[in-house]
Amino acid sequence: MHTKCTGVFIKIKHTLYLFILLLIVTLTACSQTQAKTLESGQIAEAGEVNKLLEASETAYDAGDFDEAVDLAGQALQLAPSGFMVREAYEQAVLGKAGNKYLQNLPQDRYRLSPEDFLLQQAAGVDYFILDVREPDEFAGC
């Protein structure tokens, strides 16, 4: 019985060593592939991508969403598989869309004119009116 357990543990131990060896080989191959990619002239391209992303972020922070989208789009063309590049582009596009939406809201979106209120009240619409004026605002009434 004791030798049977020892044999099982030896097999588990060998399997574990084999797994660790396979993991090391895989990680080494991945790092060599990445190093080759950087050696093939993409270092300068990576610097350009970073400059474009920084400029895009500056434009975004300044509220110039068209420029932010343009710059992030250029970076995306240089590095289409870059996660941070894609995130910056998506953020710029969403910022542009959100800004356009907010700029096109009617000024009276959340207001009801006194005339409309009286007409709707006469038509049977019930309103609950909550007065939220501050004490100093009553002076003008």
Rounded Cα distance between 59 and 67, Å, is 6
Residue-level pLDDT at 133: 85
Rounded Cα distance between 3 and 64, Å, is 74
Residue-level pLDDT at 45: 77
* Ranges of residues in the chain whose predicted pLDDT is under 70: 1-14, 16, 18-19, 21, 29-44, 140-141
Residue-level pLDDT at 1: 47
Residue-level pLDDT at 42: 56
Whether the model pTM is above 0.85 = no
Identify which of 46, 96, 97, 95 has the alpha carbon closest to the alpha carbon of residue 75: 46
Residue-level pLDDT at 41: 53
Q: What is each CA distance from 87 to 28, 67, 76, 119, in whole angstroms?
A: 28, 16, 10, 50
The burial class, CB within 10 Å (0-12 / 13-18 / 19+), for 65 is buried
Which domains does the chain carry?
2-105 (1.25.40)
